[in-house]
Amino acid sequence: MVSVGAVHSVVYVLLLSVTLVLGGDIVHHDDVAPIRPGCDNNFVLVKVPTWIDGVEKNEYAGVGARFGPTLESKEKRANLTRVVMADPPDCCTKPKNKLTSEIILVHRGKCSFTTKANIADEAGASAILIINYRTELFKMVCEENETDVDIGIPAVMLPQDAGLTLERHIKNNSNVSIQLYSPLRPLVDVAEVFLWLMAVGTILCASYWSAWSAREAAIEQEKLLKDASDDYTNTENVGSSGYVEISTIAAILFVVIASCFLVMLYKLMSFWFVEVLVVLFCIGGVEGLQTCLVALLSCFRWFRQPAQTFVKIPFFGAVSYLTLAVTPFCIVFAVVWAVCRRASWAWIGQDILGITLIITVLQIVRIPNLKVGTVLLSCAFLYDIFWVFVSKWWFHESVMIVVARGDKSGEDGIPMLLKIPRLFDPWGGYSIIGFGDIILPGLIVAFSLRYDWLAKKNLRAGYFLWAMTAYGLGLLITYVALNLMDGHGQPALLYIVPFTLGTFLSLGKKRGELKILWTRGEPERPCCHIQEDNQSINSHH
C-alpha cells in the first residue's frame, strides 16, 4: 500500500512543480529598441570591483549599454579609476564639478541614457555609471529618434543597492575607485551537461523501476491464477493499489490548480513563505529518499529479510524493519540540508532529495493511456508558455521566473529545483531545472516502457527508446535556446512536449497502434485473460 506520506508527496510535487530552465540570468531583456549604427553593441555583464580608501571591498555586477565603446574582457587590463558623484545627480545638464578622466556616478531618470552619456563624455569623464531605480538590471538602449549616438565613453548600469552604496561612501568623503571589465562567458557550461544527464538519468531510473513493478505485479497475479488460489477474488486490484492513476479530468485540473499555486507563490513570496516550502520539501524528500534507499538495499541478499519482515506502527500500519532502519538517516539528511542550505555545497543535498523524490513520484503516479498523457502534456505546454511569457502582460514580469529565482524572499530560489553551480562561468550562479520538466514528460516516458514490457516488445520495436531519445533531444534544444537567449529563463516544456509527445503519437500512428495506445493503454495482463476465460466457462455451466 502507498503510505500517506507518499501520496502527500505526489500531490505536493505536482502542484508546486516549476517548469523552467534557468542559466543564472540577471538582466532584463529589451526586444523592442532597434539596432542601428552607433547603437549596436551586444549586451554584456560587467564586473565592478570596488576599493574604498585603497582597501578592496565588494564586487558588483552591472550591464553594458547598447552604445559606447566596448569594455576590456581581462581584469589585468582594466584601469583602477576614481569615482565621483554627478552634480546634478541625474546628469541631464552639464556637471558643475570639473572632471579629469574620473568615472561619473549618476541616477537614472529625467533624460535618456544617451543624453547622460554625451554630457558626461563632454565633461571629461572616462565612463558613466547609471544607478537603476530597482535592485535589478535594465538594458540601456538608444531612443528611436536620437541621432547623437557617437559616444566615446562606456556606459554601465548598476542595480540600485550597489549604486547607493557607492554614493554613500562618496558622500562620506571616502576615496572610491573601481575597475570595469566584462569577462567572456563560455558558450556552454559543463553544469548544463551534468544537469541534462541528471534529468535524463532520473527518468531512465524511474521508468525502469515503474516497468519492473508493473511486470512483477502481472507475474504475481498470473501465479495466483495458475495456483487456483481461493483468494483470487480479492486480488483484482493487486498491483494497482500501489500507485495513483491520473484521469483526464485530473490532467485538466492540474493546470488550473498549479496556476493558482503559482500565483500564490508569486504573491506571498517572502522569507517565511520560502521557509514553509523548505519544510514541505524536506518532508517529501525524506519520503523519496527512504523509498529509494529501501528499494535499492532490498536488491542485496543481506537486506532482503529485514525488507520482508514487518511490524505494525500506529498511524502508519505495517512497516518493514529496513524502512525503520533507514528513516532516521533520511530525516537527519534532510534536516542537515535545511539548516545548511545556504552553504556552497548544499546544492548536492538538494539534488539528492529532489531526484529521489522525483523517482518516487514517477513510481507512484501513472498515466493509464496515451489520451491522458496527451491531455496532461498539452495542458502543461500551455501552462508553461503562459506563466513564462504571457504573464508579463498582466504582472509586468514573468511570474514563473520570479518564483523560480525566489525574488523578494532573501533566498537563492525555491527548493523545488535541481541545480548545479556554473563551474567555468566567471559570473558564477547556478543552472537549474524545475521538477515539472522531469516529472511531467517522465510520466509518458515511463508509460512507454511499461507498455513495451507488458506487450513483450523489444527495444527496437517498442516506444521507450524513441520516447527517451525525444526527451533528451527536447531538453538539449532547451539548453541551446537558453544560451541563445543569454541565459534568460526558458519554458522547457515548450521544447520537450513537441519532441516527446509528437514522437510518441507519430510512431503509434505509423505502426497502427495509436488507437490501442490512446484508449486501452497498457496491454491486458495475462491474468486478466485467464480470469475472463474462467468467467466464460462458468457462464456456460
Do 49 and 179 contact (CB within 8 A), yes or no? yes
Find how far residue 196's CA is from the centre of its chain.
12
Q: Is 25 a catalytic residue?
A: no
3-state DSSP call for residue 509?
helix
Of the candidates 373, 371, 337, 352, the residue with the CA atom closest to the CA atom of residue 292: 352
Catalytic residue (one of 25, 121, 425, 437): 437
Task: Confirm whether 230 is a catalytic residue.
Answer: no
Residues β-bridged to residue 483: none
Could you tell me which residues come within 8 angstroms of residue 7 by beta carbon, excluding any fewer than 6 positions away?
Answer: 244, 364
Residue at grid coordinates 528499494: 295
C-alpha cell at 99: 572632471
- The angle formed by the CA atoms of residues 389, 390 and 392, to the nearest 5 degrees, is 80
The 3-state DSSP class for residue 145 equals coil
Sign of CA dihedral 316, 322, 325, 331: negative
Q: Give the separation between CA 156 and CA 178, rounded to whole angstroms.
A: 12
Contacts by 328-331, CB closer than 8 A, 24 or more apart: 329/293, 330/285, 330/286, 330/289, 330/290, 330/293, 331/286
Q: Please identify which residue in the block is written with the cell numbers 527512504.
A: 290
Name the active-site residue from 351, 384, 425, 452: 384
d(CA 155, CA 159): 14
Using only C-alpha atoms, the chain has a radius of gyration, in whole angstroms, of 29
Q: What phi and psi values does residue 327 have, to the nearest 5 degrees?
A: -60, -45
**Catalytic residue annotation:** 384, 437
